[in-house]
């Protein structure tokens, strides 16, 4: 129920751990996405091609689009989205990876800086 004190804006946080078992296929798909982007300036295109060729996390960042996640949800309009990817060491048995555990970065009213590589971050707004 909405009251005058309730904000209409909602922050949705999603964290995924993905295993890449075909780095070449991922890179080729990212390069194709870049090639198909008619609006991308040539200078940015060259940088993007280099980045996705050198780093599978960059390739993944070029293929993931948060709008695809919520684009068909009725009653909402995307205001801003950002995402990043990074290569990590992953141990599914480690308590560090417990998805139910509070990670301690609940909304503190400030901007977040999680230390992710800025080159991997993509922003819509």
Span 68-125, pLDDT tens digits: 889 899 999 999 988 888 888 888 888 877 766 555 554 444 444 444 444 444 444 4
81: in domain: yes
Dihedral sign for Cα 108, 80, 114, 99, please. Answer: positive
What domain count does the chain have? Answer: 1
7: in domain: no
31: in domain: yes
**In the prediction, which pLDDT does 3 show?**
58
12: in domain: no
**In the prediction, which pLDDT does 110 show?**
43
- Tell me the C-alpha distance between 121 and 119, whole Å: 6
Instruction: Copy the structure tokens of residue 8.
Output: 């209409």
Instruction: Copy the structure tokens of residue 92.
Output: 């599914």
Domain of 70? 23-95+115-124
34: in domain: yes
Per-residue pLDDT tens over the stretch 6-33: 889 999 888 888 999 999 999 999 999 9
Burial of 27 from C-beta contacts in 10 A (0-12 / 13-18 / 19+): buried
72: in domain: yes
- Tell me the C-alpha distance between 40 and 34, whole Å: 8
109: in domain: no
DSSP string, the chain: ---TTS-S------------S-HHHHHHHHHHHHHH-TTS-HHHHHHHHHHHHH-HHHHHHHH--HHHHHTT-TT-----EEE--------TTSGGG-TTS--S----SS-------GGG-EEE-
110: in domain: no
């Amino acid at each position: 129920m909405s009251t005058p004190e309730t904000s209409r804006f909602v922050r949705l946080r999603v964290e995924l751990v993905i295993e890449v078992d075909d780095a070449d296929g991922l890179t080729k798909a990212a390069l194709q996405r870049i090639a198909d982007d008619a609006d991308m300036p040539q200078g940015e295109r060259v940088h993007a091609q280099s980045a996705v060729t050198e780093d599978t996390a960059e390739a993944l960042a070029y293929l993931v689009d948060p709008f695809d996640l919520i684009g068909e949800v009725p009653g909402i309009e995307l205001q801003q989205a950002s995402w990043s990817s990074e290569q990590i060491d992953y141990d599914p048995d480690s308590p560090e990876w417990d998805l139910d555990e509070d990670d301690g970065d609940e909304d503190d009213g400030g901007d977040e800086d999680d230390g992710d590589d800025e080159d991997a971050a993509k922003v819509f707004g």
